Copies of this chain bind each other. A is one copy, B any other.
C-alpha cells in the first residue's frame, strides 16, 4: 500500500501537531515515541517526516508557536494607567492559559528537552513576556500607584501564581473561571498597594 484515500497535508499536518501536543503534555516529550504520535494520527511513523524534519523540531515549533501567540495576545491588551493594565494582564493570563492547558504545560515542562539553540529562542520569548508584566510594575511604581520593593521579583511572583491556576482549576467545579479571575485579581491588587487600608472605607 501507499498513499491512502482522502489523505491531504492540510489535514494531516494539523493532526500531527495536535497529537504531538496532547501526547507530549500527557506523557512528556521523552516518553512519547514517534510511533505513538503516528498511531494517534492514524498513519505510519514514516509519514510524520513529511511534516517535521525530526522529533526535536516538532517539539520546538509547538513551543515557539505557543509563545508567539502569547506575545501577540498580550501586546493587544489595551493601554491605560498601570492599575488597569495590571488587572487586564491578570485576567488575560488566567484566561489565555486556561484555554491552552497542553501548550502551557509543554512550554513550562519541556524546556530541558530542547537543544541549546532552541532553548535560547524559547527563553528569549519567555523573557519578553515577563518583561511586559515587569513594565507594568515599574510604571506603577514610577507613577506612585503601586508600592512595591522590586518590580522584577513581583513579576516573577505574579506570573508563577497565575500560571499555577492551571494545576488545580477545572471548569465545572466549585468555582467559575471568572470567579477565579476575580479572586486572583483581588490578591494581586492587594499585593501592589500598601497594606493597612489607607486608601478608603
- Measured CB to CB, the residues of A under 8 A from B are 26-31, 109, 112-113, 149-150, 153-154, 156-161, 163-165, 167-168, 175, 180, 182-187, 189-201
Contact call B197/A189, Cβ cutoff below 8 A: no
Name the B residues within 8 Å of A26 (CB-CB). 112
Q: Which residue of B lies closest to A199 (CB)?
A: B196
B113, B196, B198: the one within 8 Å of A186 (CB): B198
Known: A175-B153, A196-B200. A28 touches B113 (CB 8 A): yes
Tell whether, in the assembled complex, residue B112 and residue A187 are in contact, meaning their CB atoms are under 8 Å apart: no
Interface residue from B30, B163, B164, B187 paired with A30 (Cβ < 8 Å): B30
Known: A196-B198, A197-B200, A200-B186. A167 touches B157 (CB 8 A): no
The answer on a CB contact under 8 Å between A156 and B167 is: yes
Would you call B30 and A183 a contact (CB within 8 A)?
no
A149 to B109, CA, bound (A): 31
- Which residues of B are found within 8 Å of A201, using beta-carbon distances? 196-197
Nearest residue (CB) in B for A166 is: B160
**Judging by beta carbons under 8 Å apart, are B31 and A183 in contact?**
no
Chain B residue at smallest Cβ distance from A31: B30
How far apart are A58's CB and chain B's nearest CB, in angstroms?
16
CB distance from A187 to the nearest CB of B (A): 5
Query: CB distance B187 to A157 under 8 Å?
Result: yes
CB atoms of B195 and A189 under 8 A apart: yes
A154: B residues at CB distance < 8 A: 183, 187
Residues of chain B lying within 8 A (CB to CB) of residue A182: 149, 200
Contacts of A156 in B (CB 8 A): 164-165, 167-168
Q: In the complex, how many angstroms separate the beta carbon of A90 from the nearest chain B beta carbon?
A: 11
- Sorted nearest first, the 8 A-B pairs with minimum C-beta distance are A160-B164, A196-B197, A30-B30, A30-B31, A197-B200, A196-B199, A161-B161, A190-B195
